[in-house]
Each structure stands twice: as structure tokens, then as C-alpha cells.
Amino acid sequence: MKKSLAAISFVFITFHTIAQMPWYHHTTIYQIYPRSFYDSNGDGIGDIQGIIQKLDHVKEMGYETIWCSPFFKSPQQDFGYDISDYCDIAPEYGTMADAQQLIDEVHKRGMKIVFDMVMNHTSVEHPWFKKDVAKGKDGNADFYIWADKPNNWKSMTGGSGWQYSKERGQYFWASFLPFQPDLNYRNPEVKKLMLDNVRFWLRRGVDGFRLDIFNVIYKDAALRDNPFSWKAVPDEKNPDGFFQKFKYTINQPESMQFAKELRAVCEEFGDRMLLGEVSGDRKTIRKFSGDEKNDGLGLVFNFEMLRYKFKASYFHKLVENIEKDFPNPFMPVYVFSNHDRRRSIKRVKDDMQKAKLLHLFQLTVRGVPCMYYGEEIGMTDARIKFKNGLDPIAQKMRKYPRFIFDWAGETPNRDELRTPMQWNANTNAGFSTNAKTWLPVNNNYTTINVEKEKGDETSLLQFVQRVLKLRNDMGALKNGDIEFVERGKLPKNVLAYKRKAGNSEILVVMNFSKSEKSVQLPDNFSNVLLSVSPAEKVTGNKLHLSSLGAVILSRQ
């Protein structure tokens, strides 16, 4: 009796029931890049009505929340990440009425939608910037960060981030690209107006925001020089680079404080998701989520798995580390691909079988999975010459030879991973009726597309759909604890973990190797709920795993 009471209290202390959790801690996110999703009016560019027409695909897959990359008014120098009006829509994407209809149509289907808020910078076309330039340095308080003489700060994309404005006779600071001037949040007017923009959309019903480069919002007030570093290339765990430690330009304590203010604004409207794009080691990014109560950003991306290794030991260590830094009430975000980085399937040489395991892992670990459009069908990166790249980063990097990036396993030409969604085997993969699409359609669209995979029960799409269904139906997968089966008890390159919430309990077993494996199943877990292929077999308490096989089991 005593023993069972202890067991019960263990369960209650360590997991939160769904009712105690904010909805965004047990959701699944599907990222839509509007320009590439579906073109409803035949101009070669995806649009808001296109998203509306394809909402049923997202719903049928089983994703619960949609994140749309920006479609606000913008000169599109960085395809929407350079905004000139936060409260209007770029005409090529639609109208305000379309945006409202999108929010409503998503809600009608029982899903949620978050918009992409670029708070750090605007476009140089924004009226605020034009005003700052025109008024000169002796006018009223500045909306942007100006200096007579640049300090040594490097931008996140390399080179000095200071840009000269002839008209004003001063330099302005741009953390990312020269046409994206950083706002000055030390001016209370800027903060107030930007928070009004946030409220503008919350009032219209959006369920929250993905926050673009949130961790650079504040810079050092005294503009002190950054120290030297030997680090040449920024990476997921350490954003320093270009031989500089980004001590005064990134992750300032004021930005972490601002996360709490923003959270309070959102809470005026109820439980709204704030998902921060932040960079740094795990402990640093956690700080954006607030104190023990998780009272800052409800979620922050963890980008370290963007450069995953396809090995059981890698995933085991990854989760163990993440669990240490993001225990309840924090919730980690697992992301393998997005609109900035190579598609995850590229790292396993476009292997669909391996992509199934990646999805299975992402959808069954404790955390919020964030999937990029096309990942569900195994869309691959295209190869587009830098010189033809529309992406401003590709333009910036065109002087460097391609092999350096290939060697580093990256592409600076983000066009390659933003090609149109592959809906079917018709012209332009069914994305657009226009002869010319904004980016070329990947030529593998006749074999990799939604329609084809919907009709094939061995497809990645159907597999992802099955895993999502199970996740949506099972408390253990939505909000359960995670506990690993010791590596010593498993064959080499096999990963196994349990998820449990109250009476709901499952075991996930994955074979990351190409050879067959036999696994001794613990605690009566012998009922197969889902498997990658029919070749996975349980006999007694022995599980036979085929090459790259994987299963989800419940107790008998």
C-alpha cells in the first residue's frame, strides 16, 4: 500500500496534467512559408487565400497550430522579414480581410494560428525610419540606434552592422542586414507603439507569435566595443563569430526582462503563445523563458538539433541535456528544419526511411515539435546557384566558393529550402498556374508530392499522420514524463524511452542502424500501437526490429 502511494505521488509531482498546462505546451506546430505554400491567384507567389484553401491538408495531417512566416506590408528585400507596416498586409499576399478570414478559418477547424512578429527591426521603408532620417540628429528622440562613429560591432551575418545614412549624416545599427535597421527599445515610445502592434493582432484573434531574433532586441546602452574572439563562424550553441564575442549585441538582460513585459501584454488576452527565436547555449536561451515560473516567453526554439547526428547515442544525450535545462514547467521545442536552414532530410542524404525515424522521435519526445512545410512528404533542398539566389544572404555570400558551405553542411542560399510546396504531379507541382513561379519547383515533384503520398500507405506522409494521430489521442505523448531505457540494456544504436502520464504509458523503440536488432522488452510492453513497417515483430517479450525499424508499444 505504502509503495503504491509513493508511486502515485511520484507521477503527480513530475508531470503536469493537460488542464494545468497552457495549450501551447502540448501542441504541434506546422510552419507555413506563405510565399511558397499555395498560389490561389496564379501570379506565381503563394498567398493568404492559398493557405486558406490548403488548411484542410494541415488539419488532416493532425497538426494543431500553424505558424505563418510574415505576410505584412514589406518591400520584400528579405521576403517579409523587413516590415514597413505591421498592421497591413502586403498586396501580393492579400488583404486585411484575407488575414482575418485566415484566423477565423483556422479557428473553425479547431486549430490555432500564430503570426511572425519581427520586433527587432523594420524595413528602411518603414515611416518611422524615414522620419528618423529626415528629422536629423538634433530632432526629437530617436526610434532607431544612431551613432556619429561606428564602434566595432559586427552584424549577425558578418561585417560591420553600422550603415551610413547620407541624409542624416550618421550611422544606424542593423543587427541582420543593412536594410533592416534595429529599433531603439530604450525609447519608451518605440516600445509602446510596438506593443500596440502586438495588441492589434491579438485583438483580431491570433493565438500568439513567433518572435524573430528576439534575443538581439536590446543592445548595450553605452555602445561598448565587443571583445575579440577566435571564433569565426556562429553556431547554434554559440552565436559569437566573425572573430568577435557578441557580448554587447546579443542576449542582454534587458531583452530577457522585455520577454516578461511582452508576456504580460499577451496575457491581457488570455493564454497566447510566445515562441522566441533566440540563440545561445541552453542555459542562456532558457533565461528568455523567465524564472522558475516560466513567466517570460512560454517557448523558445532549441536549434541545437538542426545539425543532428543520426545516432541513438546522439538523441539520448540530446534529450537528457534538454531535460536538465527545461524541466517542468518549461517545455522544450524540437525543430529540425525551418525557412533559414537546410531541410533535415538533407543530413541523411534524402533518405525517406531515416526521415520517418526523425519524425517519430520529434513527435514522441517530451516537447513541442515544430515542423516546416513539406517536411511531412520528405521535400528535399533544391540546388540553386548563388548568383541566381533571390535570398539577400545568398547575394551577400556569393563571393565565397560553394564548396566551403557544402563542407560545413550548410547553405547560405535559403531559396534552396523555400521552393514551392509539392502538392501533386501536375505542372508546377500543383502550386501555381503561372508559367513562372517565384522560385523554381524542385524537379523531384513527380515522385515527392502530397497527392501521391496520400495514396501510398508506406509513404512518409501517412506515417507522420499516424504518429500525429496517436500523439493527439494519448495523454502520455502530449504531456507525459520521459524516461529512458538504459543504453546498457539495449543493442548498439537502439534508442528506447517511456512516456507516461497517469495511467497512460507507452514505450518508443527506434533502431538507428541498418542492421536488424532484437530487443528485450521491459515491463510487459508488448502491444504494438504503431510501427514503421510491418517487419517489426513482438514474440513474447522480444522485439524484432528491422533495419531502421521503430515501434510504439503499450503494455499488454
Binding residues for ligand GLC (CB under 6 A): 78, 81, 118, 176, 212-213, 277, 339-340
| Least CB distance to ligand GLC at residue 399 (A) | 19
**Closest by alpha carbon to 244, among 217, 266, 225?**
225
Query: 15 or 242: whose CB is closer to ligand GLC?
Result: 242
Name the β-bridge partners of 126.
none
Q: Report the distance separating Cα 98 and Cα 385, nearest Å.
A: 35
d(C-alpha 467, C-alpha 529), whole Å: 10
Full 3-state SS string of 454-480 = HCCCCCHHHHHHHHHHHHHHCHHHHHC
Rounded alpha-carbon distances, angstroms, from residue 82 to 63, 97, 370, 439: 28, 22, 23, 19
Q: Is 126 or 339 the residue whose CB approaches ligand GLC more closely?
A: 339
Q: Report the helix count and the strand count for the chain, using DSSP H and E.
A: 16, 21
Q: Which residue is nearest to ligand GLC (CB)?
A: 81
Work out the number of other CB atoms within 10 angstroms of the CB of residue 52: 18
Please tell me the distance from the alpha carbon of residue 198 to that of residue 431, in angstroms, as a whole number. 31
Q: Output the nine-digit C-alpha cell for 380.
A: 528535399
Residue closer to ligand GLC by CB (options 86, 497) is 86
Answer whether 536's CB lies under 8 Å from 544's CB.
Answer: yes
Least distance in angstroms from the C-beta of 389 to ligand GLC: 13
CB-CB contact of 215 with 251 (8 Å): yes
Q: What angle do CA 469, 350, 473 make, to 5 degrees?
A: 5
User: Considering beta carbons, is residue 274 or 496 the nearer one to ligand GLC?
Assistant: 274
- The Cα–Cα gap between 419 and 425 comes to 15
| Least distance CB 316 / ligand GLC (angstroms) | 29
Least distance in Å: CB of 236 to ligand GLC?
12
Q: What's the rounded Cα separation, in Å, for the pair 396 and 413?
A: 10
Q: To 10 degrees, the CA torsion angle through 264, 265, 271, 276?
A: -80
Q: Residue 493: helix, strand or coil by DSSP?
A: coil
Query: How many residues appear in the chain?
Result: 556
Cβ proximity to ligand GLC, 160 vs 533, nearer residue: 160
At its nearest, how many Å lie between ligand GLC and the CB of residue 200? 20
User: Closest approach of Cβ 180 to ligand GLC, in Å?
Assistant: 6
| Minimal distance, residue 417 CB to ligand GLC, in Å | 11
Q: Do the Cβ atoms of 471 and 28 come closer than 8 Å?
A: yes
The residues facing 228 across adjacent strands are 244
Closest C-alpha among 209, 222, 250, 193 to residue 67: 209
> Strand pairing partners for 178?
none
Residues noted as catalytic = 212, 268
Rounded least distance, CB 277 to ligand GLC, Å: 6
- Whether residue 47 contacts residue 40, with contact meaning beta carbons closer than 8 Å, is answered with yes
Q: Which is nearer to ligand GLC, 212 or 376 (CB)?
A: 212
Pull the grid cell for residue 382: 533544391
In Å, what is the CA distance from 171 to each residue of 124, 159, 174?
A: 13, 14, 10
Q: Which is nearer to ligand GLC, 212 or 505 (CB)?
A: 212
Which CB, 176 or 258, lies closer to ligand GLC?
Answer: 176
Those residues whose C-beta lies under 8 Å from the C-beta of residue 291, and which sit 6 or more positions away, are: none
Q: Which is nearer to ligand GLC, 104 or 340 (CB)?
A: 340
DSSP state, 176? S
Q: How far is the CB of 336 from ligand GLC (least distance, A)?
A: 15
